[in-house]
Structures are given as structure tokens and as C-alpha cells.
Amino acid sequence: MTTFATKPVPIAELMKIPAVDHDLRWIKESLQSAIALELSTLPPYLCGMWSIKTAGSEAEAVIKSVVHDEMYHMGMACNMLSAIGGTPRILAAAPTYPGKLPGNVRPTIDVYLQGLTQTYVREVFMEIEMPENPLARLQEEWVTIGEFYDAVRDAFKNVEPSIGSGHQMEARIGRNTLEKFTSVDQITESIDVIKEQGEGTSHLPDDPTADGQLAHYYGFGEIWKGHRLVPTSSGPTAYDWVGDPVPFPETYPMGRLTEGSWPNPPDDVPDLLAAFNDKYTKMLDLLETAWRDGDTSALSQSINVMFALKGAAQALMAKPLPHDNTHVYGPEFLINRSHPNHG
């Protein structure tokens, strides 16, 4: 049964609470907000990836790897919350586009949906994944993603909540293995993994790698610049995008969604939009069921529905926008609130 709970507490509000008051309740609310944050990155990345026509392109491989990581991060946040007695509210966490990142993190970013272009990679993908350093120096009033995760990690260390028997999921997600948490130390180490996969190692600000692979920001930079990131002795840092070419792939030219939904779509497009939104809603509903009930079958079903989203998205990308000879439709990622999914 689909349910819609209260939206997560904005991260900016959570971060205004003094660290001394970061108690168990604060941790639970923060993890719910972390779930919303990780979920919010998936639709823009997926629109970019699904718009790629070139099979086996390097750009597709980079984006797919990041999508897997973000799914892994969201799964870890759900497991962390379940481990300390909470229940992930995944449907409530679903964002709308265009808009800001959940909780007023990085409030200057406008996150919108569009097909893959170099501008889209720079304005949305790389802005989402921008390393905390030098952001914290540039805008001290901003709450950065890195600062937020640091606060959650510190709260776990200070509170040391007991790890209970809440429902946790296990799965293989790309290069990552989602495992159940049995200790606070495991959780704090995993929070460091979330940070490093996104922005690079925290102990070396100029190191763009995590476990030998490029962090998200730097991988997206290769698509944007069209060249590999390589070490260099010139420039302000030790790395630059001046290596071997990374060809930009052929794409479906999905237009920029400037409102929550496409205005007055013609012919059969409304049915295609509804079909995508129904599948998207069903996927999130199954994920929520998996963690709420400890239902591994629901988790498997959600993965199957997720794979079906690509076909539903590309069916939309075959439809030209009216009065526009250049662009096509794409998914809206809207929750269907009037027709609950029952499998």
C-alpha cells in the first residue's frame, strides 16, 4: 500500500542545531534527510544516461557507475536508519524538478532534468558533486554535503546508539556490496566512503580518487572537458583534464523540463508520461516496503522495475516537443499519488 508521510526535515535546519544536541532523534531525522539527498541525485543522472544513444560509450559507463554509487549510498542510509530503530520514508523523500537539493544544501544549485549535454554535466552533475574543499572556504554560510555527513558521523561517535534488529537489506550494487550494519564503527567508516566516492579523499584535497577510482566530480569532469583527468605539474592543482580524448556520445536531445510537468503534451504522450510515473512510483513503493517489512522479494522487484524505467524513458525521448524542431520529451519523475501500486 502506497503511503505518503511528512517530508524530511531540511538539512539546513538540522545543521543549525548545536552539535551538543545531536542526539538519537537528530541522527534519525538526519538519515531520513540523507535518503532524500541521495535519491534526489538519481533522476538527473538517469535522464542524462538514458539519453545516450551510443552503446558502450565512456560517458555512459561513467554515469552508470555514479548511479550505482548513489543507489548504494541511499541503501546505506536506509540500513543505518533501520539499524538504530528508524523506518526509511522513501516515498516522502521523492523530490520534484526543477528545484533545489533537499534541505537547502548548496542553495545556489538549480537541479533540472534534461538530456545529456556538456553544459548539463557542468551545471548540474558537477555542481551536485562539487568537493567540500574549496566550497567551505568560498561560502561559509552554505551547508555543504560534506559538512552534513561529517556532522552525522560525529553524532554517531558521540551518541553511540545501540544497533538493533531493524530490517536491513543486502545487495550487490555495481562495484559496491550493501551489507548490514552491526556496529557504530562500521557506520562511521561507511559515511567516509559516501564522502570519498563523491568528492575524492578528504585527507588530500587534490586527490580525485577513492579506492583507485575517480570520484564522481572528477569523472563527470572528463565528460564535460572531453579528456581524461591526468596528473600535471602545471596549474593550481596536481591534476587537469588534458589526457586522452573522451568522445561525447550521440544522444536523444531531451529538452529541459522547466516546470514540474510538461505543459499540454499532445497525442499519446500523456499515456507515456503516466506509464513512466507509475513505474517510478511502484519502484519507490517497493523499496519502502523492503525496508519497512524486511521484504527481500520487494527489493528484487524494485530492481526489476528500475530496469524497466529505461524503456519507458526512451519511449518518451522518441516524441518531439511541439513547436520545437530540436528537442524531444523525457521523464518527469512524478509520484502518482492517486493510484497506489499493489505489485
SS (HEC) of 60-125: HHHHHHHHHHHHHHHHHHHHHHHHCCCCCCHHHHCCCCCECCHHHCCCCCCECECCCCHHHHHHHH
> Could you give all domains of the chain from N- to C-terminal order, each with its CATH number?
11-252 (1.20.1260.10)
CA distance linking residue 183 with residue 172, whole number of Å: 20
**Nearest Cα residue to 261 out of 250, 253, 270, 252:** 270
pLDDT at residue 6, as a whole number:
76
Contact 241, 40 (CB under 8 A): no
Per-residue pLDDT of the chain (343 residues; tens, 9 = 90+): 444 457 889 898 999 999 999 999 999 999 999 999 999 999 999 999 999 998 899 999 999 999 999 999 999 999 999 999 999 999 999 999 999 988 777 788 899 999 999 999 999 999 888 876 644 444 555 677 888 899 999 999 999 999 988 999 999 998 899 999 999 999 999 998 888 776 544 544 455 655 667 888 889 999 999 999 888 876 556 788 999 999 999 999 999 999 999 998 988 999 999 999 999 999 999 999 999 999 999 999 999 999 999 999 999 999 999 989 899 999 999 998 764 543 3
CB 93, CB 291: distance < 8 Å = no
DSSP 180: -
Q: Which residue's C-alpha cell is 511502484?
A: 282
What count of residues does the chain have? 343
Determine contact, residues 302/75, Cβ cutoff 8 Å: no
Q: Pairing state of beta strands 230-231 and 239-240?
A: antiparallel
C-alpha cell at 325: 524542431
3-state secondary structure of 260: coil
> What DSSP string describes 225-254?
HTB--EE-SSSSSSEES-SSB-PPPPB--B
Running DSSP on this structure, what letter comes out for residue 17? S
**Amino acid letter for position 16:** K
Residue 103's pLDDT is: 75
Please name the residue ranges forming H helices in 162-268: 184-199, 216-225
Q: List phi, psi (to 5°) of 117.
A: -140, 165
Partners of 214 in the beta sheet? 209
